[in-house]
Chains A and B, each alone.
Chain A
Amino acid sequence: GAVVSQHPSRVICKSGTSVKIECRSLDFQATTMFWYRQFPKQSLMLMATSNEGSKATYEQGVEKDKFLINHASLTLSTLTVTSAHPEDSSFYICSAVQGPTNEKLFFGSGTQLSVL
């Protein structure tokens, strides 16, 4: 199956700093990737849809200036949490669709962000 690599798996940062998370499709090209955040014992909350070569589409209530998404190539999307604060601490996961019908989602392993 398709492999999506997400890096880093864990990051601890000071309040006010920015953190970049990378999501790569290793063996396929992904024109569309998705970014989610997940709180403990809760489901995935879609934050934005990342489209290669165009601006990301953000879900309602997600600040686009806070969560910068760049999808500069067919295999890489990045999420930058700018000026991170403790309330941004969460588990962030990316996914990519593969195949002509775009039905199956392949997920990265997630990034646990802790903001002190």
Chain B
Amino acid sequence: SQKIEQNSEALNIQEGKTATLTCNYTNYSPAYLQWYRQDPGRGPVFLLLIRENEKEKRKERLKVTFDTTLKQSLFHITASQPADSATYLCALPNTNAGKSTFGDGTTLTVKP
């Protein structure tokens, strides 16, 4: 069955450093992969979508890579700030349009 694994439940880093989060999947051949941010008590917010034919995608301080051979996506936040502290979820589409499976998330804490 399809499985998504995000590398760690929690990640603590110092302000200014680069945070790197990992999303691994098995038994999938997704056409794209998405990353969302979720703050406590709130719904997730869409950040980035990367397609299977794209190796890398950037948006401001965010960078996502997608390796379909390794079945892995890396999510980087450069020059991290305390405001980046949140839970980050990766998501992969199911066969039905719009229906996605989410990883358990990695909670990032950026310390000043």
Contact = CB atoms under 8 A, between A and B. Distances in A.
Contacts of B41: 91, 110, 112
Contact of A43 (B32, B42, B89, B96): B89
Interface of A is mostly: strand
Contact of B46 (A42, A105, A112): A105
Interface string B6-30: 0001000000000000000000000
Contacts of A41: 9
Interface residues of B, number: 24
A interface residue count range (under 10 / 10 to 19 / 20 to 34 / 35 or more): 20 to 34
Interface string A72-116: 000000000000000000010111010001111111111010000
A97 B97 contact: yes
A67 interface: no
B112 interface: no
A43 B102 contact: yes
B79 interface: no
Contact of B99 (A6, A43, A49, A104): A49
A32 interface: yes
Contacts of A91: 41
Given A34-B99, A102-B97, A44 B32 contact: no
Contacts of A6: 43
A1 interface: yes
Contacts of B9: 41
A59 B71 CA distance: 26
A77 to B, nearest CB: 13
A101 B9 CA distance: 31
B96 A110 contact: no
B99 to A, nearest CB: 6
Interface of A: 1, 4, 6, 32, 34, 41-44, 46, 49, 91, 93-95, 97, 101-110, 112
